[in-house]
Amino acid sequence: MLATGDFTVFVRPFTLSFPFRPSNVEKKVSQPETECPSCLGGAMFSLRALQHLSILSGASFRLFIRGIHGGIIEGGREEANSIHPTALIHQNAILGKRVSIGPFCTVGPEVQIGKACQLHAGSHVTGNTVLGDNCTVLSGAIVGADLPGRTIIGCNNVIGYHAVVGVKCQDLKYKVGDECFLIVGDNNDIREFTSIHRSSKSSDNTVIGNGNLIMGSCHIAHDCKVGNNNIFANNTLFAGHVVIEDCCHTAGAIVVHQFCHIGSYSFIGGGSVISQDVPKYMMVSGDRAEIRGLNLEGLRRNGFSSEEVQTIRKAYRKIFMSSDTTTGCFEDRLSEVEQNRELFGVSVVCSMVKSIRDSFKGTRRGICKFRHLFGSSRDYYGFS
């Protein structure tokens, strides 16, 4: 191996049997002066020469063997890693077993890479970054950044071509030197050219849950909170501090205003501009988006029973499509549903009403516009 600054260029691995000690080098090699098969730029050296290096002693020797193989010695056995000769792996980086690192990759000094991870050609993992087991980082992707704070990636994640995950946020309020964090769960598919930024301050995190499909060219800004099993189609753009709950689905080319909340099992139509909250189970679309109805297909696909769906529809009609012109304002219609034991006694209806109520608490933005059966699109409860 050849040292280049703080990095080490790993040459093609030896094949050595263990236990292996400096004292028995010549006993295990029939021709002591035989040249080692590893070379870089024509540089060759013999095992006898290695015997005289100060590194061949105790723990230092084990680190040397680990450096050549890229593996971890444990209990006298080694599960070797596959590291291309052109990869730059810092000597302080921690690699799990069966890691594969392709040509022209870089791995920084504070990086921890789990078992059976694959770094494809030209991918980079840097900063204080933890990559869980069985992750794949495809060509051109960048994970982590040399910033205070940390990026934590769970297990079984795929990070697509030229994606940028765990870098500095695009928030002018961020102060240089502040810690910033990104936490990603397990089983996420993050496709090509996606960008996911760290938090804007040390007291917050950007969080991605489990099982999400984030398609090409999506953007998840600082301090966003993404739940589980969501599907974001291409060019879905979330501004800072957006909260997306579970099992949401966005069509392509949508934008979401900062601090908005997207409720579980909702659907956002293509090209929409979301400037207010989307309650649970709703389907919205438009610029600015309006509530168009319930996401019935999404409810069916996610295992809601026909009885639950029918009860949600009854509550939805009373709140948003009341044919009784004497029912009063939006607040009165919400209260009527809450007082209806047949409806409000069903957990899914209670959850929907709570989602609507929460949208008007504190600094929340209210819900998207909706069209009343006898009114215009301006008959809504929220901001203008």
Q: Which of 96, 102, 240, 263 is catalytic?
A: 240
Question: Catalytic: 6?
Answer: no
Question: Catalytic: 240?
Answer: yes
The residue whose two tokens read 């189970």 is 281
Element of type H or E holding 119: strand 118-119
**Which is it for strands 118-119 and 136-137: parallel, antiparallel or unpaired?**
parallel
What's the sign of the alpha-carbon dihedral 352, 354, 357, 360?
A: negative
d(CA 155, CA 5): 31
d(CA 232, CA 254): 9
Q: Which of 120, 197, 219, 222 is catalytic?
A: 222
Helices and strands (DSSP H and E) totals, the chain: 8, 36
Q: Which of 242, 241, 244, 195 is nearest to 215 (CA)?
A: 195
**Which is it for strands 289-294 and 369-370: parallel, antiparallel or unpaired?**
parallel
Q: What are the tokens at 99?
A: 């890691």
Element of type H or E holding 129: strand 129-131
Question: Catalytic: 120?
Answer: no
Q: Which of 223, 246, 261, 277 is catalytic?
A: 223
Element of type H or E holding 307: helix 306-320
Positions annotated as catalytic residues are 222-223, 240
